[in-house]
Amino acid sequence: MKNYIVFDLEWNQSAHGKEDSVEDFPFEIIEIGAIKLNSELSLADEFHRLIRPQVYTQMHYAISEVTHMDMGELRSQGEDFVHAAKGFVDWCEEDSIYCIWGSMDLTELQRNMKYYGIENPFPKPLFYYDVQKLYALFYKDGVKPSLDVAVEELGLLEERPFHRALDDAYYTGKVFKKMMEEIGSDHLLVYQSIDYYRIPKNKDEEIQIMFPDYSKYVSRIFPSKEDAMKERLVTEMRCYKCGRMLRKKIRWFTPNQKIYYGLAICPEHGYLKGKVRIKRVDDTKVYAVKTLKLTDEEGAIQIASRKEEVKKKRALRSREKKNKQKK
C-alpha cells in the first residue's frame, strides 16, 4: 500500500533584498520536516534535517522572526543540502503520495535540487495533494487560510509550536486526516494538484485532467502569449461532462494580458466558463493553464459584465490617446 508523505520546508533568502539574490535561486532550504502516514492514515515515521546554508549565510530578519532559527544553530547542527535531500528521497520510498500546505514547497525542493545538481527524482507529471487548497475548497468557499487557522477551526489539539518544518508537517497531516474522516476519500482524493515546476516540453507531455466539477489543461511552452492563444487546445471549449465541443458565446478576452476569460453553452449541461492563465517561463516564453467549469446564469452575467468593463476601459484609453495627439 502507498504511503502519504506530508512534508514542509523552511528556507532562507538574501538578507539584503532581491538585488543580492542569486539568479534562479531566490530561496535556500534550511530545514526539511516530514511525516509518513500509512494507508490507514496512522503515523508511521518522521523525518527531520537541519541544513547548513551555502549561499545565503546571513539569516533574513523575517525568517528568523517567524522560525526562531539562527545561523549558529544551522552551522553547528545542519548538514549539507545534497546529503539531506538524498536522505529525504530515500526515506520517502517510491510511489509515495505527497501532501503539502500550499504549492511552494515542491517547487522550492526541486529548484534547490537543480541548483545542487541532484537529479529530479519525482515522476512527470507530478500530482500531489495541496492540503490548503483542499481545505479552502471544502470548508472556506475557496478562501485559503493559514495552517494555524485551519487547525483551530477543526478543533485539533495544538500540542506543538508552528512555523518549524516538522511541526508544520505534523499539523498538515492532522488536517489532512481530519478532512479524510469528515469528507471521505472518494470525494477528497479526486482533487489532485499538478506541479508546474517542470512544464510539458512538447504536445505529448501536455496535461489534461478532469475533476468532478471542472477540467484543467496545462500546455507546452510557446514563444509568446500570442502563439499560445492561437493554439486550438488552449482556446477550445469542450464540456467535461459530455465531451461536446462547444461554440463560444463570449470569445476569449483579457483585462490584463495575463488572464483570458470566455463563455460557451452546452445544450445538455448549460453555461461553461473558461479561464486561461498565461504563465511566464522567461522574458518571452510562456505556457498556458486553462480551467473550464460549469456555471449558472449569474456566473454567465458576471463574465459578460467583465467583458463590457474591459471594452469601456479600452475605449476610454483610446479617447485619451486621441485627445493627447490632438494637443
Same domain, 214 and 298: yes
Confidence label for 1 from pLDDT (cuts 50, 70 and 90): low
Same domain, 67 and 109: yes
Same domain, 152 and 229: no
pLDDT digits (tens, 9 = 90+) for 138-191: 999 989 999 999 999 999 999 998 999 999 999 999 999 999 999 999 999 999
Given this model, what pLDDT does residue 2 score? Answer: 87
User: Would 182 be classed as within a structural domain?
Assistant: yes
b/e string for 4-17 if b means 16 or more Cβ within 10 A?
bbbbbbbbbbbeee
Same domain, 233 and 161: no
Given this model, what pLDDT does residue 327 score? Answer: 62
Same domain, 218 and 135: no
Same domain, 184 and 207: no
pLDDT digits (tens, 9 = 90+) for 264-321: 999 999 999 999 999 999 888 999 999 999 999 999 999 999 999 999 988 888 887 7
Give the mean pLDDT of 5-22: 92
Q: How many domains does the chain have?
A: 2
Q: Residue 277 maps to which CATH number?
A: 3.30.530
Alpha helices in the chain (DSSP H): 61-67, 71-77, 81-92, 104-115, 131-139, 147-153, 165-183, 185-188, 225-228, 232-235, 297-326
Given this model, what pLDDT does residue 278 score? Answer: 97
Same domain, 285 and 159: no
Same domain, 310 and 258: yes
Same domain, 37 and 138: yes
Mean pLDDT for the chain?
A: 94
Q: Which of 42, 195, 48 is nearest to 133 (CA)?
A: 195
pLDDT digits (tens, 9 = 90+) for 104-124: 999 999 999 999 999 999 999
Among 188, 212, 228, where does a domain finish?
Answer: 188
Structural domain that includes position 114: 4-188
Q: Residue 143 maps to which CATH number?
A: 3.30.420.10
User: Structure pTM?
Assistant: 0.90
Angle between the 131-139 and 165-183 helix axes, to the nearest 10 degrees? 40
Given this model, what pLDDT does residue 317 score? Answer: 84
Given this model, what pLDDT does residue 20 score? Answer: 87
Decide: 307 and 284 in contact? Cβ < 8 Å: no
Q: Which of 128, 59, 48, 61 is nearest to 91 (CA)?
A: 48
Same domain, 220 and 182: no
